[in-house]
Chain A
């Protein structure tokens, strides 16, 4: 399998910024996804990176460095509804298989 590491938990204050790191080791690389999953709900797509650099989507941004096997998801202007698990998933080759990390539980406090 693939080796994907992300922190287990993070806590931040409403209105603040949080950065969730993801490191991976794969045999080849064909894209990295970030998903958000609220407790008891389905994962929902947040972002996709295949080239190095930063992709910005509103309050959420995702960064990729292929040479370092590293990505981060940046959440700005945190809101209470952002409390959820954030899953990093890597597509290791030109195929369909996504390998997911264990997820990072973000808790936003007032």
Chain B
């Protein structure tokens, strides 16, 4: 079974440029998460989707970040414009459901460097 797929794996941009990350979750997983992980820290949730609906985006910096999950499958996370402090690894995860002990499966992440 294929895991969570993310692209690109690495991205280097200059500040004020836009950037987008793509995620393809495990087939059949209704719940999709975007996390940000700074160096030496644990992942922090940015947004959660249930199918195509963003049910919690309280941690998403909405002035520059946006996300979508069309048709309840693939998702994209966009930053426009990027700032130096956005340098981090952006992880996508999926699970069958948010309930109970449903394990979250993580993708390999996109490592963003903003110069």
**Which residues of A are in contact with B by a Cβ distance under 8 Å?**
4, 31, 33, 35, 40-45, 48, 50, 87, 89, 95-98, 100-103
Contacts and interface: CB of A to CB of B under 8 A. Distances in A.
B106 interface: yes
A96 B103 contact: no
A101 B42 contact: yes
Interface string B72-115: 00000000000000000001000000111101111111010000
Interface of B is mostly: loop
Contacts, number: 51
B45 A48 contact: no
A35 B37 CA distance: 14
B103 A48 contact: yes
A95 B98 contact: yes
B40 interface: yes
9 closest pairs, A vs B, by CB? A100-B42, A96-B98, A42-B106, A45-B103, A48-B101, A43-B106, A42-B108, A102-B41, A87-B42
Contacts of B4: 42
Given A97-B48, A103-B40, 18 more contacts: A4-B42, A31-B101, A35-B106, A42-B107, A42-B109, A43-B91, A45-B103, A45-B104, A48-B101, A87-B43, A89-B42, A96-B31, A96-B33, A96-B56, A96-B99, A98-B45, A98-B104, A100-B43
